Amino acid sequence: MRNPLNMTSPLVVTAGLSHAFVEQPALRGVNLCVPAGSIYGFLGPNGAGKTTTLRLLLGLLRRQHGTIELFGLRLERHRRQILRQLGSSIEMPSVYGHLTATENLEVWRHVYGCDRRRIDAVLALVDLAGTGSKRADQFSLGMRQRLGIAVALLHEPSLLILDEPTNGLDPQGVLDMRRLLVTLNRERGVTILVSSHILSEVERVVSHIGVIHRGTLRFQGTLDELRQRQASASFTTLDTSDNPRAAAVAAGAGMCASLEDDRVRLPPLSRDDTGRLTGLLWTEGLVLYEVMTSRASLEHIFLDLVGAERR
């Protein structure tokens, strides 16, 4: 029997998770929290610690320091019970190249003890129902990735852990993978923890994000919270006939204005605020030469989070 899923609690929690390979730290006190019902994007450059974290969550590496809980259960005490509710695809999918998609799933069906009807169901779900007698070694990379996910879904898990599922895919393969993740989450209720080193590949589907760099979790929160960082990193600049006076006029109107590089810098202005400030400047006899708003992309925010030590 599966452990009942408490939707008010996080599905994955780590506390102080640390790990080292031959005295080389790979993780440093990672406190991961994956809410039930979410698509959690676990982001970071190659070598940041993503795969190490996922392998620890699955019990593929022996835990050294910290705690790991999935479904409210400690991994070291309840690994078998946890794995009944969990599907995963880490690094390259575990498929047999000389077998068809159906034959591959038949092998895993016996491992999981599933009803044979699950094979047709998951093949349809990952859009491989029409592959017939085609062997897996004749599949495209995207098809092999989807077959690996079909294997992971065979026993109807509540949680799916995927390591770089879009790695090496062409643009169409990336789109197909995005659609599959959204379908699994919204229509099947599967919580998904997906790692990637490219924010743009997952930002359209995730609800929560964790950013890891050099084994340290640099950010964790909702996508909206990351976008708030994006807004705070955006700004408007003015160039006028007298910028110090223009900054004083803006400050007198209740706007947070400063002088930077001999220009007036303000938080991003709405159209109404821009019009109001333009009128105030004209009243003061100032000529407005240029108004420019610079909006930080989420990709820039991501690079700032992981790039501070590179500079």
What are the 10-residue block averages of pLDDT along the chain, 311 residues in total?
Answer: 50 96 90 96 92 95 94 94 92 83 92 90 92 92 91 94 89 90 93 91 91 93 85 85 94 90 88 91 94 77 68 40
Are 75 and 68 within 8 A, CB to CB? yes
- CA separation (Å) from 70 to 32, 37, 167, 219? 11, 14, 26, 21
Are 147 and 93 within 8 A, CB to CB? yes
Are 209 and 32 within 8 A, CB to CB? no
Are 202 and 196 within 8 A, CB to CB? yes
Sign of CA dihedral 159, 164, 166, 168: negative
Separation of first and last alpha carbons in the chain: 52
162 phi/psi in degrees, rounded to 5:
-125, 130
Cβ-based burial of 43 (10 A; exposed 0-12, middle 13-18, buried ≥19): buried
Output DSSP code: residue 60.
S
Threshold 0.85, pTM exceeds: no
pLDDT in tens, 227-257: 887 777 788 999 999 999 999 999 999 998 9
